[in-house]
Amino acid sequence: AVTRDPEIQETRFRLPVVAEEQKIMEAIHNHDVVVICGATGSGKTTQVPQFLYEAGYGSPTGPTPGLIGVTQPRRVAAVSMSKRVGQEMGDHSHVVAYQIRFEGTVDPKTALKFMTDGVLLREAAQDIALRKYSAIIIDEAHERSVNTDILIAMLSRVVKLRADLAKEDHSVKPLKLIIMSATLRIEDLTQNPALFPVPPRVLEIEGREHSVTLHFARKTHHDYVEDAFRKISRGHKKLPPGGFLVFLTGQGEISALSKRLKSAFGSMTSVTGPKVRISANEAPVEVEDIDFGEVDDRNDDMDDEIEFASDDEAENAEFDIEDEESGTGPLKMHILPLYSLLPTKEQMRVFDPPPDGSRLVILATNVAETSLTIPGIRYVFDSGRAKERRYDPVSGVQSFEIGWISKASAKQRAGRAGRTGPGHCWRLYSSAIYERDFPEFAQPELLRMPIEGVVLQLKAMNLQHVVNFPFPTPPERSSLIKAEKLLTYLSALSPSGQVTQIGSTMSIFPLSPRFARILLVGHLHECLPYTIALVAGLSAGEVFIPENQAIPQQQFKAKITAHMRMSLPMTGGRRSGKLSIWCTRTFASLTISLTRSNCCRLSASLLMTLQSLVQALKQMVASGYIDQVAIRADKSPNPPEMYRTPKRAINVPYLPLVPLEGEQKLDSADRLVYIHPSSPLAHLSVDECPDYVVYSYLQKAGNQAVDSGKKPKTRMHALTDLT
Ligand code: ADP
Ligand code: MG
């Protein structure tokens, strides 16, 4: 039995989950799959693993030998939760450990293992039966991260496999799967016969958070960092002691706000946080940690919706909360950043008590949105925005854009103020905007990313029949088939659909497969640094930006100065355009993950002549878009007959080398494509038009062209010429 500290014991007894221990354990004994829904703070993460341990799971001599595994979507949650549970377990604290990608405390005594979902996925690739576990808890399932979705789908099969194995071999025990969620909105998991033919047992735990008072802004300010600065400053002067937790969207904003608060309120520590001094071990590699840097946040839609407000004196009244204590005068601020690119050790600093006489102010991204309990936080300031992975299925461009969070997320953020006592949340947006523009729930991440990356990941785990994979929210069957085809073009899969050596190397990179392929070719040519910059540029969707068409600087917010701008002369016809690449921190984070993968040498490339470098870069682009190369129709083996001599580059016909979908049967004349007028190539003379063009996507002409009586043309958004 576990002997706990009396104080801990008392806190535990107040948690709703503890009141339901018997019901929960009965359900787990009687069902292989159990879903536990309970509001944040009800005690799921800290208590359920302890119930399992005390019931004998995790004990090598017990009836169900094997580890208890608990997955978390984020590193800092895995580490901090294992520490908290260790503390709670008193004389048994040594059985609790964590494992994140490059760091862990697991030893032979470990019975309860907290880990990121990425770690468990990799273990499943080694042993699909996950024999070393007796029970696995998937936590924060409501977040619907890609890894969580894949894990749940995979584990649904592992549970069945283990049950079958147990029937034949009595030394093998069935696996218990427990899925935990902070919301009930998980029908995709609970009512999904493809995933769980027998519906899992669902337990609802009544939550008991402390009360959090919500304060909506009267007006929604476009510059929310400025707005946050004003409200934090005012709040700091007027509010009783208690920590602040501020939700922003990224590292840039956090550093900027941190500097301003420091000069205004003299922080007691170094404020800006470490200057991204990421050691190889600490560098992020979990997929969700890849932060593609600052985004162009001109969000035109958003501009229209927001009333631009002047600093409103009435807002001062916002901080006149009815409170026992009054403001306690000139406290200093103890400001700490919290975002996923920050080394885990730095992230963990938020759990240390702040120096006496100071107010803890944590500037965070949505890393802090779920799972974490940061002691002493009483006040939350929520910008209502987050940087989200987006994906344009047409252009294939993946981006991270700032947008409104969901209502469910806003609720989670506010809930952070009520973890250890009653609190307040100031929302930096009006209730009107919230009601009208915030979606109820976020879309599963899997539907917001290129599916070929997911397919490659599954194939690399030796899962053959991806079309039959029981995704909680399945992508279109046809897009899965298309993805397999593309992966075959990229040499990531063999013709029979098996992952190749190239494919398994590609799957290591936290990049879409096209870009991973380009990097591999770059490595072959020993010019990896340029290739990384190239990929960074491609992932922003803009590679070739001729000088006169460069995006006007003023369109970039002043704060986005972190952009590294690299210009290489480009040989493309007589006109020497400019290859301008904006590479953001992608450059840094990719360099780190790659250097760590030991697959590059960074110096040899510097000796290459620029000329051959540019040639090589173009070849690399082609290697990633091998299925999207078009040949000048008059240079093709069978030039089409109906061929008038064009006078302008945009009328020079090209033929895609790989026939477009459904067009195999068409006459070649109907398959012709043309250079898009926005392309730098459009300015070439007809003679200068290259033999081959690599394009990122095709655009079919709209009705306008039809109305004007001309035959609509399909146009290429060109990436590069090839010679
Ligand atoms: P859930 O997973 O349901 O959101 P948790 O198990 O994480 O809930 O936390 C339950 C409660 O345990 C919290 O509301 C808080 O009171 C307490 N708690 C958790 N972690 C800590 C911590 N690091 N320090 C102090 N109290 C904590
Ligand atoms: Mg939790």
In three state form, how does the secondary structure of 2-50 look?
CCCCHHHHHHHHCCHHHHCHHHHHHHHHHCCEEEEEECCCCCHHHHHHH
pLDDT tops 80 at residue 603:
no
pLDDT band, very low/low/confident/very high, at 612 (cuts 50, 70, 90): low
- CB-based neighbours (< 5 A) of ligand 2, an ion: 45, 371
Cα 564 to averaged position of ligand 1 atoms, centre (Å): 42
86 lines ligand 1 (CB under 6 A): no
Cα 189 to averaged position of ligand 1 atoms, centre (Å): 25
Which ligand lies nearest to the CA atom of residue 142 in the structure? Answer: 2
Which ligand lies nearest to the CA atom of residue 72 in the structure? Answer: 2
Task: For residue 656, give the nearest of 620, 625, 688, 679 by alpha carbon.
Answer: 625
Predicted confidence (pLDDT) per residue in 143-189, tens digit: 999 999 999 999 999 999 999 999 999 888 999 999 999 887 788 88
pLDDT tops 90 at residue 548:
no
The confidence score (pLDDT) of residue 46 equals 97
38 lines ligand 1 (CB under 6 A): yes
Report the nearest atom of ligand 1 relative to the CA of 38: 3
Task: For residue 145, give the nearest of 481, 410, 454 by alpha carbon.
Answer: 454
pLDDT band, very low/low/confident/very high, at 701 (cuts 50, 70, 90): low
User: Looking at ligand 1, which residue's alpha carbon is closest to its atom 25?
Assistant: 375
Cα 49 to averaged position of ligand 1 atoms, centre (Å): 13
Residue 21: partners with Cβ closer than 8 Å, 6 or more residues away: 47, 51
User: Looking at ligand 1, which residue's alpha carbon is closest to its atom 18?
Assistant: 373
Q: Flag the least confident range among 8-17, 38-47, 318-327, 648-657.
A: 318-327
pLDDT band, very low/low/confident/very high, at 519 (cuts 50, 70, 90): confident
Which ligand lies nearest to the CA atom of residue 376 in the structure? Answer: 1
Q: What percent of the chain has pLDDT over 90?
A: 45
Predicted confidence (pLDDT) per residue in 257-308, tens digit: 999 999 988 754 444 444 444 344 443 334 333 333 333 333 333 333 333 3
pLDDT band, very low/low/confident/very high, at 398 (cuts 50, 70, 90): low
The residue whose CB lies within 8 Å of the most ligand 1 atoms, and thus the one to mutate among 44, 84, 88, 142, is: 84
The confidence score (pLDDT) of residue 720 equals 82
Give the span between the Cα atoms of 1 and 89, in whole angstroms.
10
Residue with the two structure tokens 């025990």: 173
Cα 77 to averaged position of ligand 2 atoms, centre (Å): 9
Element housing 539 (H / E): helix 528-539
User: Looking at ligand 1, which residue's alpha carbon is closest to its atom 24?
Assistant: 375
What residues pair up with 468 in beta bridges, in sequence order? none
The confidence score (pLDDT) of residue 357 equals 87
pLDDT band, very low/low/confident/very high, at 714 (cuts 50, 70, 90): confident
340 lines ligand 1 (CB under 6 A): no
User: Looking at ligand 1, which residue's alpha carbon is closest to its atom 5?
Assistant: 43
In a 13 Å sphere around the CA of 602, the CA atoms on its Cβ side amount to: 11
Predicted confidence (pLDDT) per residue in 623-642, tens digit: 889 999 999 988 888 777 75
353 lines ligand 1 (CB under 6 A): no
In a 13 Å sphere around the CA of 314, the CA atoms on its Cβ side amount to: 5
Give the span between the Cα atoms of 356 and 337, in whole angstroms.
19
272 lines ligand 1 (CB under 6 A): no
Q: Which residues of 8-41 are buried (b: 16+ CB within 10 A; e: fewer)?
A: eeebbeebbbbbbbeebbebbeebbbbbbbbbbb
User: Looking at ligand 1, which residue's alpha carbon is closest to its atom 6?
Assistant: 43
Range from 79-88, 364-373, 593-602, 654-663 that averages highest in pLDDT: 79-88
pLDDT band, very low/low/confident/very high, at 602 (cuts 50, 70, 90): very low
Give the residue, 506 or 280, on which the prediction is more confident: 506
Contact of 428 with 232, CB cutoff 8 Å: no
Decide the pairing of beta strands 358-364 and 654-656.
Answer: unpaired
pLDDT tops 80 at residue 17:
yes
Strand boundaries in 161-275, DSSP class E: 176-181, 201-205, 212-216, 243-247
Cα 35 to averaged position of ligand 2 atoms, centre (Å): 14
pLDDT band, very low/low/confident/very high, at 666 (cuts 50, 70, 90): low
Give the span between the Cα atoms of 381 and 427, in whole angstroms.
6
pLDDT tops 70 at residue 618:
yes
Give the span between the Cα atoms of 567 and 674, in whole angstroms.
27
User: Looking at ligand 1, which residue's alpha carbon is closest to its atom 12?
Assistant: 43
pLDDT band, very low/low/confident/very high, at 208 (cuts 50, 70, 90): low
84 lines ligand 1 (CB under 6 A): yes
Task: For residue 215, give the nearest of 475, 364, 414, 506 by alpha carbon.
Answer: 414
Cα 241 to averaged position of ligand 2 atoms, centre (Å): 26
What's the mean per-residue pLDDT of the chain?
79
Cα 181 to averaged position of ligand 2 atoms, centre (Å): 8
Predicted confidence (pLDDT) per residue in 50-87, tens digit: 999 999 998 877 777 899 999 999 999 999 999 999 99
Report the nearest atom of ligand 1 relative to the CA of 419: 14
Region 382-409: mean pLDDT is 81
pLDDT tops 60 at residue 240:
yes
pLDDT tops 80 at residue 648:
yes
DSSP structural state of residue 241: S
Which ligand lies nearest to the CA atom of residue 83 in the structure? Answer: 1
236 lines ligand 1 (CB under 6 A): no
Cα 214 to averaged position of ligand 2 atoms, centre (Å): 22
pLDDT band, very low/low/confident/very high, at 430 (cuts 50, 70, 90): very high
Within 10 angstroms of residue 2's Cβ, the number of other Cβ atoms is 14
Give the span between the Cα atoms of 266 and 99, in whole angstroms.
37
Give residue 573's region: left, alpha or beta (phi > 0; psi -120 to 50): left
pLDDT tops 60 at residue 325:
no
pLDDT band, very low/low/confident/very high, at 539 (cuts 50, 70, 90): low
Report the nearest atom of ligand 1 relative to the CA of 180: 2
Burial of 655 per CB tally in 10 Å (0-12, 13-18, 19+)? buried
Q: Which residues of 145-166 are buried (b: 16+ CB within 10 A; e: fewer)?
A: bbbbbbbbbbbbebbbbbeebe
Contact of 182 with 42, CB cutoff 8 Å: no
Q: Flag the least confident range among 246-255, 272-281, 401-410, 700-709.
A: 272-281
pLDDT tops 90 at residue 564:
no
Predicted confidence (pLDDT) per residue in 477-504, tens digit: 888 998 999 999 999 999 999 999 999 9
The confidence score (pLDDT) of residue 635 equals 87
| 3-state secondary structure at position 358 | strand
pLDDT tops 90 at residue 41:
no
Give the span between the Cα atoms of 387 and 415, in whole angstroms.
20
Cα 420 to averaged position of ligand 1 atoms, centre (Å): 8
